[in-house]
Amino acid sequence: MTAETILIVDDEPTNLFLLTSMLRPEFVVRAANSGESALRAAASAPLPDLVLLDVMMPGMDGYVVLSRLRENPATRDIPVIFLTALAEADDEERGLQRGAVDYITKPIKPAVVLARVRTQLEAKQARDWLKNQNATLEAEVERRMLENDRTQIVSIRALAHLAETRDPETGSHILRTQNYVRQLAIGLREHPRFAETMTDRYIDILTRSAPLHDIGKVGIPDYILLKPGKLTPEEWAIMQTHSQLGSDAIEQAERDIESPPEFLSVAKEIARWHHEKWDGSGYPDGLIGDTIPVAARLMALADVFDALISIRVYKPAMPYTDAHEIISAGRGKHFDPDVVDVFIESFVEFVAIAERYGETA
């Protein structure tokens, strides 16, 4: 085992010699005869494990040296024992209040110094061990949280892609809408109506939840979901049930878990209400204005924009500019006016997202 390093700081050569002779058989000893040289030595590798610091020194005294050591991140955790001829109780209290771990009065008694030094070094070893254990534990917790986070994201994507397999023409729809929603949320972060809601955490949860917006389509019969022509009123009524089917499935998942993750609540809002309209003419509940959850309002615009610019069996892809006009015309009718404003401001980013996650088929 490597011997600990002790830095002795004293302006009296006699004291330096005495302390060095006393400690050298057991420890690696370094010496400094002023406050300035002590600070340089303390910050030089290898860092000392303990500092024996004289209080009364010309120029920079021990109190100032200790204060400087505590200000430097590299030396702030090195334990310091004051050595001083000041023997009053107030002097000792002052030293301990400044951050010294111990206070030894002169004249020096070798047995006392050795005992105090060993005690403080053992205490430092214990602190260092605990610090290393905590660092290891924190790293393991962070690793597991990251793993859980990735598992959650992959699971959401898998469920969303499962729903997409029922409707293969949608291709990269979930990736595009997810990124549209995030773009809108970021654009609303400083808006007075949304600033309190659009925290970084909420935007992360919202983005994570977005792919589940059409999960309820797994419950729609193929003859309706894959029909190439216009749906009959009866078929359209069945198609509209996908929003409630999705929210019901997510709600059941919430009930199955003792402490459901927060994203499920947002995913449920998106799944149920992303077809609601600002003027109350949407489905399934005919919600109006701000009674529509924020997450659903953002998904409503993202979903419609992507549907407009995408190829379907019953229509060709619409040019971006035409889709822009339709979304803009829906301001205050289909969509929250402020959400449309952000869409208009971010239109270049919307196009870039559409191009990046374009259909691969």
The token pair that represents 285 in the structure block = 């509940």
C-alpha distances out from residue 74 to 60, 78, 100, 345, Å: 20, 9, 17, 48
Same domain, 311 and 203: yes
pTM beyond 0.85: the answer is no
Contacts of 97 (CB under 8 A, 6+ apart): none
pLDDT bucket at 361, cuts 50 / 70 / 90: very low
pLDDT band at 264 (very low <50, low <70, confident <90, very high): confident
Query: Which pLDDT does position 206 carry in this prediction?
Result: 94
Q: What is the mean pLDDT of residues 219-231?
A: 87
Helix/strand/coil percent split, the chain, to 5? 60, 10, 30
The mean of the pLDDT values for the chain is: 88
Instruction: Indicate if 203 and 122 belong to the same structural domain.
Output: no
What pLDDT, on the 0 to 100 scale, is given for residue 280? Answer: 97
pLDDT of 121 over the 50 cut: yes
Domain co-membership, 130 together with 215: no
Residue 154: what pLDDT? 60
> In this predicted structure, what is the pLDDT of residue 103?
84
Number of structural domains (the chain) is 2
Tell me the pLDDT tens digit for each residue of 66-113. 999 999 999 999 999 998 876 666 766 777 777 888 888 888 888 888
pLDDT at 274: 97
Q: How confident is the model at residue 128, as a pLDDT?
A: 83
Contact 83, 108 (CB under 8 A): yes
Quote the tokens at residue 337.
Answer: 């006016």
The 10s digit of each residue's pLDDT in 13-57 is 988 999 999 999 999 999 999 999 999 999 998 899 999 999 888
**Inside any domain, residue 243:** yes
178 and 126 assigned to the same domain: no
Span 122-180, pLDDT tens digits: 988 888 888 888 878 887 777 776 666 666 666 666 666 666 666 655 558 888 999 99
Q: What pLDDT is attached to residue 32?
A: 92
Is residue 192 domain-shared with residue 328, that is, in the same domain? Answer: yes
Owning domain of residue 13:
5-136
Q: Are residues 294 and 235 in the same domain?
A: yes
Average pLDDT over residues 197-209: 94
In a shared domain, residues 29 and 129: yes
CATH number of the CATH domain containing 268: 1.10.3210.10
Residue 70 sits in the same domain as residue 184:
no
Residue-wise pLDDT tens digits, 296-325: 999 999 999 999 999 877 788 999 999 999
How is residue 247 written in tokens?
């929210």
Domain of residue 95, CATH code: 3.40.50.2300
The pLDDT, as a whole number, for residue 96 is 77
Identify the H or E element spanning 354.
Answer: helix 347-356
- Residue 187 to residue 115: CA distance in whole angstroms: 64
Establish if 157 belongs to a structural domain.
no
Between the two ends of the chain, the Cα-to-Cα distance in Å is 65
**Within-domain flag for 188:** yes
* Strands of the sheet with 102-105, listed across from one edge: 28-32, 5-9, 50-54, 80-84, 102-105
Q: Percent of the chain, pLDDT > 70?
A: 89
Number of Cβ within 10 Å of residue 175's Cβ equals 17
Q: Are residues 189 and 309 in the same domain?
A: yes
**Residue 144 lies inside a defined structural domain of this protein:** no
Q: Is residue 114 domain-shared with residue 212, that is, in the same domain?
A: no
Q: Give the pLDDT band of residue 215 (cuts 50, 70, 90).
A: confident
Q: Is residue 117, in this structure, part of any structural domain at all? A: yes
Question: Is the same domain home to 131 and 173?
Answer: no
Q: Is residue 153 part of a domain?
A: no
Q: What is each CA distance from 44 to 30, 34, 283, 300, in whole angstroms?
A: 11, 16, 70, 61
On the question of pLDDT at 272 being above 90, the answer is yes
Q: Is residue 146 part of a domain?
A: no
Evaluate whether 316 touches 307 at the Cβ level (below 8 Å): no
Integer Cα distance of 15 and 293 in angstroms: 75
Mean pLDDT of 3-7: 92
Q: How confident is the model at residue 352 (pLDDT cuts 50, 70, 90)?
A: very high
- DSSP output for 129-164: HHHHHHHHHHHHHHHHHHHHHHHHHHHHHHHHHHHH
Asked if residue 268 and residue 185 are part of one domain, the reply reads: yes
pLDDT at 192 over 80: yes
Say yes or no to pLDDT of 355 above 80: yes
| Residue 92 domain-assigned (yes or no) | yes
